[in-house]
Every structure is written in C-alpha cells, then in structure tokens.
Amino acid sequence: MTTTTRIDAPLKVTGRARYGSDHNLPGMLHGYVVTSTIANGEIVAMDVAAAQAAPGVVAVWSPFDPLTLRTPSTPILGDTWVPLQDRSVTHHGQPVAFVVAETYEQARDASALVEVTYDERPARTSLADNLDLAEEAPPGLDGEPSTQVVLADGVESIDDALAGSPVVVEGRYSTPTQNHAAMEPHSAVAHWDADGLTVYSGNQGAFVQQADLAAALDVDPSAVHTVNPFVGGAFGGKGRTSVPAFLAAAASRALGRPVKAALSREQVFTATANRPETLQEITLGADRDGTLIGVRHDSWCSADTDRSFVEPTSAASRVAYRTPNLAVSQKVVPLHIPRTTFMRAPGEAPGSFALESAMDELAVALDMDPIELRLRNGSLGPAGSDLQWSSKYLDDCYRIGAERFGWSRRTPTGTRDGDWLVGMGTATAVFPALRFPTTTEITLRADDTALVSVGGSDPGTGLLTVMALLGAEALDVGTERITPRLGLSAYPPGGMSGGSTATASVGSAIVAAASAVLEELQSLASAPGAPFAGQDVTYADGRVLGGGRSMTFGELLSALGRDAISAVGSSGPGEELTKHSFSSFGAQFCEVRVHRWTGEARVSRMLGVFDAGRIVNDQAARSQLRGGMIWGVSAALHEGLEIEGDGRLANGDLAGYLLPVNADIPEVDVHFVQHPDTLHNPVGARGIGEIGVVGMAAAVANAVYNATGVRVRHTPITIEDLLDGLPE
C-alpha cells in the first residue's frame, strides 16, 4: 500500500488551482439567474423593462424571449432539464430568467427588477401527505425491477413468512431532503471562437458536460471543449450539467462575448438538485437464534414533477443479509419541489439508515449482540441472484473493529459519564463495486516522462494522484515521472466521478493503455534501422532491453527522432459480471454522548473498518472514508431541508441548513482489511467514494438508543426527539 500526498494539494492550499469560475476572459460579461417565488403555476407575464434599462445590462432572457436550449439525454443520467424553455413553474426557486450585464453586481441588482406575474396553483410538497399519488418506480440503473419478491420453497407470501417468524420487528423510518452543499457553487465561464465553444465549469466528467452542451446547443460535440481540471466538491450534484453552464454557453453564443454565471448559495439549494426525502417501512422476521426468516422493505421517495430521479432505498435490503424470504418495493411521489438527483451513496445511505436501525431493533428484541446478529445473517450474494460475492471480508471488519473500538465494554443499556449518557452503536456498510467503460491515453515522451490522460474529474476524491500511482506502476517507473491529466473533453472519455467507479475504471484502462504503448515502443525499438533492430526486446524498469543492452524509453525515442508516442487503452465491465457479484463492505462503529438534562447528542468516537479491495493511496483513501463517515454523522444529527407547504425552503442557506462543524467531529478512525479483488478488475480496487457514508447514520441512531433507550426512526435526530425520554 502506498501513501502519497495529493499531487494537487499544494495548488489547492495556496489558491493557485484555477476552478471554473476563476477564469476571467477579456470582455467577459456576468449573468445572474432569477428564480421563481411560487412552486406551482404558470408565468403569465414578465416585465423586464426596468431590468433591461438598468445600468450595465446587456440582455435579459425569459421564457417569453428564451435562449433556445434542447433537452440533452444520456444513458446514465437520463434527461437533463434546461431552463427558460416554457412558462410552467414546478418548484419554488426554479430559474425563470437570466440577466446579463457588464459586472456581477449590475446583473444581480437588475435581476431584482424583473417583475414576474404568476397564475399560481396549490403546491404539493409533503411526501407524507401525498402517498396516495405514489407511482411504481421504474427499474433501477442496474435493470433490476424496483419491486422484487423472493420466497423459499413452499412459502406463499412474504406475509406468511413474517407471520410464521417467532420474532418480528416492524418500523417506519424517514429521512429528509438533503443538498450536496459542495463548497464550490455551480458556475461556468463560456466563450465561443473559431474552434467553437469552450466552457470552464466544475463537473463530474468533462466528456459528460461536452455531450450535454453539444446536445443542448445543437452543435457537434467536436465543437464543444469543456474544461474542469479542479472541482470544488460534487457528490453527485455536478453529474448533470448545471443551469449556469447551459445559460452562459447559450448567452455567450447570442452575444458574441464570454459570459460567466454562478449560482448564489441560496440558489444552489433550489436551482440544482437534491437527494429525495424518503419514507421506509421495514419488517424483519427471525428465528429465536437470530436467523432471518423474512425481510420486507417498502420505500417511497419524493421526486420533482419530471420524476428525474428515484432514491432506491429498498435496494439496501437486497444485498446486506441472507434471507430465504424477501419482498422489496419502491415507489416515487412526484411533488412541487426542487429537482432530485444522485447524492453520495444514492439509495444505500438513507436505505441503510432504515435497514440497519431495524437490525438493531431486532437485536434488542432478541436480546442479542448486534454484531453477532449481523454475522449470523451475512449474505453470500444479492437476493435472488446465483452469483456470489467475488470476495467478502465483512466478518473480519467486525472482528477487527470490535477489538479496536472496545466493543466488549458496551452494555445493553449504555454507560454513564457524569451528566452524559454514553452509548455505542454499529451498522453494516455495503456499496456495490462498479465500473464504467473508460478509455485513457498514455504518452511516453523523449524526456523520460509520461502523460496519463482521461476526461473524468477529481472533485477532491484523489483520482489525479491515483492516476500517477497506477500509471507509474503500469509503466514500471517512479511516480515523479508521471504527469496525470484530467478534466478536458479533449482527453479520452471515462473516469467520470460517480458510483465509486473511478479508480477501478481508470486503473483498468491505464493497464490497457500501458500495455498498448509499451508494445508499440518495443516494436519501434526492434524495427529496421532502430537501435534494437531485429532483436528480441523486453521492457522493465522504464527501459527497453535487448541483446545485453538497455535504453530508457526516453533515450530510445530520442534515438528514433521521436518526441513522443501515444496509445489509448480501454476497459469496461465484461465477462466478470457473469461469474460473480461485486460489492464493498464495512463495519461502522460509533460512540454517542447525550446530555442527561438538555439532550444534545454528540458523537465522541468513530471507527470504520472497510473491505474495499486494494487501497491504492492510503492517505487519500482514509480521507475519503472519513469524509463519508462525517457526512453520516451530519445526516444523523444535523442535515435536512425543510420544504414548506408553499414550496419555499425554510432553511435553504448555510445558516439554516446545518452541517457539522469541527467541534462536532471527534477523531475518526479508519481501518482497511486489504484483499485486492482482481476478479473484478485488474487493479483489484473496488471503490471507496461512497461506502463511508453508508450505515453511519444508523450507527449513530443505534448508539443514541444504547445511551438513552430512545429509538428515533428519522433523521436528523435532534434534542426534541430525546428530551422526553431522558431521566429527570
């Protein structure tokens, strides 16, 4: 295992990394987005005269005078909504106009002068109040139907299986709408020249943004150049191309000048997309020894009126535990709320809150240690599939974790430390190991360095450094000789940041590209007239060897009069999918303290032990897991968007939308059990971007229960949930 400081860290901490909106171009204009103040209705009229006449204003666009944009569609993300194309308003804070002026302040001031007249209709914004509108969710991205029933031989229904179970627990869980709240707000700088369009904008994959913009603007993808070498956090919220990118690109085309557009922090909450709210009902039936007999998991999630995304929470129950009888269903409730989309561990994060809380409730009902219960029911593969896990060391995670955490000191009713009630909780984390088709290019240069390039992104994940490490490994040279390059649509497509896939996808493609470029190098070396003409050559340690001599690849290229040679390599999911199922696993632990008088719950210790295949860069990997676990604490105790009856967000800014601060987060301990999973991909890495958040909220809730005896089945858990249950 290697530990390497991120190679882009010095640039970032000294402010030299140029993010999308750090680009300032000569003659650049500034755009400001105007958003709706109703959640459902039609725009009847828009008076933009005052805005147009305001100082510095160059243009005002609205649905009455729109910038033409088409709806892009991609296989992974489906349709992406584009603004200003019609007069209907489907949520509060929807972009309805775009004001472009010479300065940002002028654009913002003028935007306040835009008068919108609405024909307002009542809004539906509450998930709980609108369950009668629930629709069956479409199949998931993996093609699995959203409703699935698996029954043991002779069992008629899940109800029968549960009715026949000696011990049954049942619960209704809920999780709120969440916003990614990435540090960098969605923003873009766009300009057109003879080569077409260039857009600087943080995104999860330059090639995705290129495809979206080309489709939206109806131009050939080759005429669209997207640039996002640095991304200030994404977490799923920058998968789809953003409203500022579409508007800046279209406005720049119309005006013939560069245009910059950025959302305000408040607008990020409404004009991008959020994690849906969920409601989940779980019933678990077990034998007295804890063996599961039946699992039922029914889920509802909120969605915008276009149903742009489903939060597949019931899917969590397909993979975590072995059960002879399983029934899961997934419904979606369209509401007048901001758009919904992927957020770190979509499905698994809120789904595991419900399932892992329910498992804790079952352990209590059985009077059994929660770890023992989980180990007893470990899954061999997904429910209803014959394909077993390629590699699974969850038991080790629990064993090592229990030891490291001091789990043996836990009592069923917690402990006391002065005025603090102290509890411990645990939960299982599961996240699928996936890969996307990816192409990378490797260029060997005459100065003995190499470029490794892919169009994906590193939104803080550490992919850039991973590329240097894996590139060095594949070329058998030192890391300092590799220049990894990301974030230009000019580079080959792949390495999108999403689904915890980037290391496995890019790493596999690097292996392929390296073998292609080294093959070419060797054939050039032994070609007629070349230094090793007619000889058998091999390659090792950055050198071509043959006939008892060796040359570095740089020396060889120089001798051949070549500056560089390049090759691309591609890799993607294939045959392995017919042989095994693939997943990462982990065991989450936490200790929570609840004040006996005032009920604040504070996490005092955390540990996650993860089985995620090979860990390529220990330091960055730990940061990834820590970040995920901290987000789990945030979900458990702080975060949640409150959408009012009229669709307004009650806390749509960083004053009201609480995230933990440093004082809320103790030392976070992360440990890896390392078993490279080469059945999944040649690098053996399974992906770590999302699993850290999975299960953590439940571990906190379970610790709160252990400390106080109060079971809270929603997040965030706040003081009012605990006060009544505290001792006087």
Binding positions for another protein, rule: CB under 8 A: 37, 105, 108-109, 112, 417-420, 593, 595, 597-600, 602, 604, 637-638, 642, 644-645, 648, 650-651, 655-656, 658, 660-664, 666, 718-720, 723-724, 728
In whole angstroms, give the CA distance from residue 615 to residue 378.
Answer: 23
Residues 590, 377, 283, CA angle at the centre, nearest 5°? 85
How many angstroms separate the Cα of 68 from the Cα of each of 44, 94, 183, 216, 258?
Answer: 20, 17, 30, 8, 18
Shorter beta-carbon distance to another protein: residue 54 or 286: 54
In whole angstroms, give the CA distance from residue 613 to residue 89.
Answer: 46
Shorter beta-carbon distance to another protein: residue 64 or 597: 597
In contact, 358 and 282? CB cutoff 8 Å: yes
In whole angstroms, how close is the CB of 122 to another protein at the nearest point?
16
In contact, 270 and 652? CB cutoff 8 Å: yes
Shorter beta-carbon distance to another protein: residue 490 or 658: 658
DSSP letters spanning 195-259:
TEEEEE---SBHHHHHHHHHHHHT--GGGEEEE-S--S--TTTTSSPPHHHHHHHHHHHHHTS-E
The structure tokens listed for 248 are 């800046």
Shorter beta-carbon distance to another protein: residue 2 or 420: 420
- DSSP-derived 3-state class of residue 23: coil
In contact, 131 and 300? CB cutoff 8 Å: yes
In whole angstroms, give the CA distance from residue 303 to residue 388.
Answer: 33
The structure tokens listed for 22 are 């750090």
Shorter beta-carbon distance to another protein: residue 364 or 637: 637
Peptide bond connecting 145 to the previous residue in cis, omega within 30 degrees of 0: no
* Buried/exposed 364-391: b ≥16 CB within 10 Å, e otherwise: bebebbbbebbbbbbbebbbeeeeebbb
Q: Give the length of the chain.
A: 728
Shorter beta-carbon distance to another protein: residue 160 or 644: 644
Identify the CA nearest to 42 among candidates 116, 148, 106, 112.
Answer: 116
In whole angstroms, how close is the CB of 638 to another protein at the nearest point?
6
Torsions phi, psi for 605 (to 5 deg): -150, 150
In whole angstroms, give the CA distance from residue 294 to residue 244.
Answer: 48
Shorter beta-carbon distance to another protein: residue 348 or 669: 669
Shorter beta-carbon distance to another protein: residue 297 or 593: 593
Q: Which residue's structure tokens are 């009455």?
A: 64
In whole angstroms, how close is the CB of 721 to another protein at the nearest point?
9
Could you tell me the maximum CA-CA distance found in the chain, to the nearest angstrom?
Answer: 91
In contact, 32 and 83? CB cutoff 8 Å: no
Shorter beta-carbon distance to another protein: residue 223 or 420: 420
- Is residue 266 part of the annotated active site? The answer reads no
In whole angstroms, give the CA distance from residue 510 to residue 516.
Answer: 10
Shorter beta-carbon distance to another protein: residue 161 or 707: 707
In whole angstroms, give the CA distance from residue 392 to residue 258.
Answer: 52
Strand 325-334 with 538-540, pairing? unpaired
In contact, 693 and 345? CB cutoff 8 Å: yes
Task: Give Cβ neighbours of residue 315 (< 8 Å, ≥ 6 apart).
Answer: 140, 144, 328, 330, 347, 348, 351
Shorter beta-carbon distance to another protein: residue 326 or 643: 643
- Alpha helix (H) ranges present in 487-563? 502-525, 553-559
Which of 184, 361, 591, 690 is catalytic? The answer is 690
The structure tokens listed for 68 are 């033409």
In whole angstroms, how close is the CB of 311 to another protein at the nearest point?
23
In contact, 526 and 535? CB cutoff 8 Å: yes
Active site residues: 690
